[in-house]
Amino acid sequence: MSILTRKTMLYAGIEPAYGTLPAFNDSTSPILIENADYKLDLQNIDRPLYRADLSPTPDMIGRKISKLSFTHELRGSGTVGSESRLGRLLRACSLVAENKASAWWGAFLPIGNVGGAPTVAWTTGGSLSGITEPKTLLIDVTTGGLSGTAEMTITADDGTAAQAGVDMISGTAATLTTGGLSGATVTPTWSGALIAGQKWIVTVFPAGIKYQPTSVENQQESIALRLYKDGVLHEATGCYGTFKVNAQAGGRATVEFEFTGIYSTPTDAAFPVSPVFESTLPQQVELGRLHVDGFGIAGPLNNPCVVDTFSYDIANKIDPRTSINAANGYTGLRITDRGSSGGIDPEATLVASQDFWTKLANARLMPFGMRVGTTPGNSWYIHAPCVQYTGLTYKDRNGLQALDAALQFNRLNGDDEIMFYAC
């Protein structure tokens, strides 16, 4: 009997304990995927035994580890605060989920270093009611000076009118009018004289689910997978994964997963009778509000940051815990390292508009953000506080000069180099 490629189905469930099968359910376990593959990672043990001839001696087969890979669309559940099935896959790749029941402020991230400038501590207040999408603000000191003399401009990434000439008084709240944040306040506190050109970025997030990496073993969840291939069942327990995100303008964003798990012998098994899949359609990659180091904080029609593709690779390293006392010579798996790299390809500009090359040469650390989707319950925001360029290469894009800009996603305080926010 032949096996058809398209007749493939995946069930996935977070394990109640490491290596323990969850209770798979036709209503909640099926995962819509494509490009599914299964591989057996074998330890071939060579036996170069001496004889009176040069013919090879049969190898031994030692450790056996399962590898399952597939692609999933970057989409939400359709309901704010309700986890999509993509969420459990991310959690099995060292991300921890935190449900945010109401809107909240992210950190105020400085842009660049202005020599001799004082440190400013920011606090927030007022109301964030009615916020249904992330809003990123660029705060720019336009007039330097002491408290009461300094002024700032506040620009939102949604295209609403910027607030210009806002008085900066240390310890005194400034009320926002831009970005649909009327009623919210920001308060700067500092001593000394501010310098024109000091800048910060801050993002306001609506209610949603926050996913960030963890290095703490007991916070990392494992997953069990059942891959049905038209009559053949590949099952793996104790799985941890790694993933890559790819998004291209006008298309759909996808997540490429590879999971490593404990091997089980394949069996013949019919498809589940009544699987229920998610019905939410992915959102088009558009109106992404992509910004890096403040470049791109503008309305959708006058955004100077013109990027066609975005990629991110968490690059989890997964290793077996080798043990003489365990079956197959290993007692499960462990995430032992994380890479976090990616890239964008902005149109090249004059140095006066955006000095990519100096930022690369000086290893400048930069905040980054973008979104996929505009519908509440089906949008994802990608936030990184501390990226840097690690390479720039010119390329042609439809007759326009563009740059392949490699990015490294760095820690700010630890386990915070990337955040995925479903909202």
Give the up-direction half-sphere exposure of residue 98: CA atoms within 13 A in the CB hemisphere: 12
Query: 191: how many CB neighbours lie within 10 A of its CB?
Result: 10
The answer to the question of residue 1 being in a domain is no
With a cut of 80, say whether residue 340 has pLDDT above it: yes
Return the beta strands (E) in 157-265 as ranges. 163-167, 174-175, 184-189, 199-205, 208-213, 223-229, 232-248, 254-263
Nearest to 295 by CA among 246, 367, 388, 343: 367
With a cut of 90, say whether residue 301 has pLDDT above it: no
Residue in the block written with tokens 């000086």? 362
Residues 221 and 82 in one domain: yes
The set of residues, in sequence order, having a beta carbon less than 8 Å from that of 266 and lying 6+ positions away, is 232, 233, 234, 235
Average pLDDT across the chain, whole number: 96
Instruction: Using alpha carbons only, give the angle 291, 292, 298 rounded to the nearest 5 degrees.
Output: 35
Instruction: Compute φ and ψ for 104, nearest 5 degrees.
Output: -150, 160
Residues 70 and 115 in one domain: no
Instruction: Compute φ and ψ for 405, nearest 5 degrees.
Output: -110, 110
Residues 183 and 320 in one domain: no
- Separation of alpha carbons 284 and 282, rounded Å: 7
Mean pLDDT of all residues in 28-48: 96
The answer to the question of residue 220 being in a domain is yes
Residues 386 and 301 in one domain: yes
Instruction: Answer whether 0.85 is exceeded by the pTM.
Output: yes
With a cut of 70, say whether residue 287 has pLDDT above it: yes
Residues 245 and 341 in one domain: yes
Q: How many domains does the chain have?
A: 2
With a cut of 80, say whether residue 413 has pLDDT above it: yes
Task: Label residue 252 by pLDDT band (50, 70, 90).
Answer: very high
Residues 390 and 281 in one domain: yes
Q: Which residue among 171, 206, 241 closes a domain?
A: 206
First to last CA, the chain: 45
- At 46-80, the pLDDT tens digits run 999 999 999 999 999 999 999 999 999 999 999 99
Mean pLDDT of all residues in 411-415: 97
- At 194-216, the pLDDT tens digits run 999 999 999 999 999 999 999 99
Residues 228 and 92 in one domain: yes
- Tokens, residue 216: 């703490």
Q: Which residue among 176, 206, 236 closes a domain?
A: 206
Residues 132 and 271 in one domain: no
Residues 15 and 132 in one domain: no
The answer to the question of residue 183 being in a domain is yes
Q: What is the pLDDT of residue 298?
A: 74
Q: How far is CA 405 from CA 72, 255, 357, in A?
A: 25, 20, 10
The answer to the question of residue 283 being in a domain is yes
The residue segments making up the domain with residue 362 are 8-45+58-101+209-422
With a cut of 80, say whether residue 302 has pLDDT above it: no
Residues 25 and 149 in one domain: no
The answer to the question of residue 3 being in a domain is no
Residues 96 and 115 in one domain: no
Residues 284 and 365 in one domain: yes
Q: Which residue among 181, 206, 231 closes a domain?
A: 206
The answer to the question of residue 52 being in a domain is no
The answer to the question of residue 35 being in a domain is yes
- At 12-21, the pLDDT tens digits run 999 999 999 9
